[in-house]
C-alpha cells in the first residue's frame, strides 16, 4: 500500500487526530504543521510533500492550512543547531500551536520526541517514513502514531546475485552520521546471515572511500547506504558522493533508495 494512503488511514483511525480534522461540526480552519528532517530541495522531500498535501486535499473536507519546516537534521546533528531550531519553533508558534503535527523521516521524529514537552505537549503527532529498526522496542505516547518503513537489504543482495551470479563480496559504504551508523548496524545484522564476504567502508573520507571502491575486485558489488558527513565533520550530499563513487567503481553499485537511481546506482529493491 502506498505510504500516503497508509498515512491517511492512520490519520482517520487515530481517534484524537481524526476528531481534530473533522470539519462537519467545526467549520473553522485547521492548522497542520509538517516537520521534515531533510532540506526542501531534495527530490524525496518534494515527493513526500506533494503526496501528503494531495492526500489531505483529496480526503479531508473543510479549510486546512499547512505549514512546513525543513530542519536539515540528517546532515547537521550538533546540539547547538538543534537548540536553535527549538528556540525558533517555540517563538514562531507561541500561542498558535497546530491542531496536528506530521513529522517526516527519522531525524524530525526524534527531534520532536525529545523536545515535544517544550514545544507542543498536547498536539497529536502522526509520523511518516520512520525507520522501524529505530522504532523497535520504543514505547510511544498514546497520541503519537504513524507509518514506518523498512529497507530491503537481503532482497537487494539476492537481486545482485541473480544479475551477477559470480558475486562473492559486498562492499558497504556509509558515512559517519548517526543515521549512517544506524543503517550500517542494520546492514551488518542482515549481511551476517549471507554467504558473502563483506567489507564495510565507514569512518573514511570520500577520497579514501573512492580509493577503496576503485580497487574493488571483479567478483564484488557495492552497496551504498548513505553518506552525508565524513570523519572530519564535513557535510556532503549523498547523491553527489554516490555519483563520484559510481564513476570509479569497476563493479555495479546498488542503493536502497529510489532517489539514488540516476546518480550512478544501477538499482536495487529501493524505497
Predicted model pTM:
0.75
E runs forming strands in 134-241: 144-149, 169-174, 197-201, 220-226
What phi, psi does 131 have (nearest 5°)?
-70, 125
Burial 236-269 (b: 16+ CB within 10 A, else e): bebbebbbbbbeebebbbbbbbbbbeebbbbbbb
- How far is residue 142's CA from residue 156's CA, in Å, rounded to a whole number? 35
**For 36-44, what is the mean pLDDT?**
87
CB atoms within 10 A of CB 81: 14
- How far is residue 260's CA from residue 263's CA, in Å, rounded to a whole number? 5
Q: For residue range 210-256, list pLDDT tens digits in order.
A: 999 999 999 999 999 988 888 888 888 888 888 999 999 999 999 88
**For 142-161, what is the mean pLDDT?**
85
Q: What is the mean pLDDT of the chain?
A: 83
pLDDT value of position 263: 63
- How far is residue 246's CA from residue 261's CA, in Å, rounded to a whole number? 11
Residue 14 in this model has a pLDDT that exceeds 50: no
Q: For residue range 93-140, list pLDDT tens digits in order.
A: 988 899 999 999 989 999 999 999 999 999 999 998 887 655 566 778
Interacting residues of 177 by C-beta distance below 8 A, sequence separation 6+? 74, 75, 77, 226, 228, 229
Helix (H, G, I), strand (E, B) or coil at 50: helix
pLDDT value of position 175: 83
**For 79-96, what is the mean pLDDT?**
94
pLDDT band per the 50, 70, 90 thresholds, residue 207: very high
CB 144 within 8 A of CB 123: no
pLDDT value of position 16: 41
Amino acid at each position: 500500500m502506498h505510504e500516503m494512503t497508509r498515512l491517511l488511514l492512520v490519520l482517520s483511525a487515530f481517534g484524537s487526530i481524526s476528531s481534530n480534522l473533522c470539519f462537519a461540526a467545526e467549520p473553522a480552519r485547521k492548522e497542520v504543521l509538517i516537520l521534515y528532517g531533510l532540506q526542501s530541495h531534495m527530490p524525496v522531500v518534494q515527493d513526500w510533500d506533494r503526496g501528503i498535501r494531495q492526500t489531505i486535499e483529496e480526503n479531508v473536507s473543510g479549510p486546512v492550512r499547512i505549514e512546513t519546516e525543513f530542519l536539515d537534521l540528517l546532515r547537521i546533528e550538533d546540539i547547538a543547531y538543534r537548540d536553535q531550531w527549538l528556540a525558533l519553533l517555540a517563538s514562531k508558534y507561541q500561542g498558535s500551536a497546530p491542531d496536528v503535527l506530521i513529522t517526516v523521516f527519522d531525524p524530525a521524529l526524534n527531534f520532536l520526541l525529545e523536545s515535544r514537552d517544550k514545544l507542543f505537549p498536547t498536539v497529536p503527532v502522526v509520523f511518516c517514513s520512520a525507520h522501524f529498526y529505530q522504532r523497535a522496542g520504543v514505547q510511544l505516547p498514546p497520541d503519537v502514531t504513524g507509518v514506518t518503513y523498512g529497507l530491503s537489504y537481503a532482497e537487494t543482495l539476492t537481486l545482485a546475485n541473480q544479475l551477477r551470479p559470480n558475486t562473492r563480496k559486498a562492499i558497504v559504504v556509509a558515512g559517519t552520521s548517526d543515521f549512517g551508523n544506524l543503517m550500517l548496524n542494520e546492514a551488518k545484522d542482515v549481511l551476517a546471515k549471507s554467504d558473502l564476504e563483506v567489507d564495510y567502508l565507514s569512518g573514511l573520507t570520500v577520497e579514501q572511500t573512492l580509493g577503496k571502491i576503485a580497487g574493488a575486485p571483479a567478483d564484488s558489488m557495492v552497496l551504498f547506504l548513505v553518506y552525508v558527513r565524513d570523519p572530519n565533520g564535513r557535510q556532503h550530499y549523498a547523491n553527489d558522493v554516490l555519483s563520484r563513487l559510481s564513476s570509479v567503481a569497476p563493479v555495479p553499485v546498488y542503493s536502497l533508495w529510489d532517489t539514488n537511481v540516476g546518480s550512478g546506482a544501477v538499482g536495487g529493491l529501493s524505497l
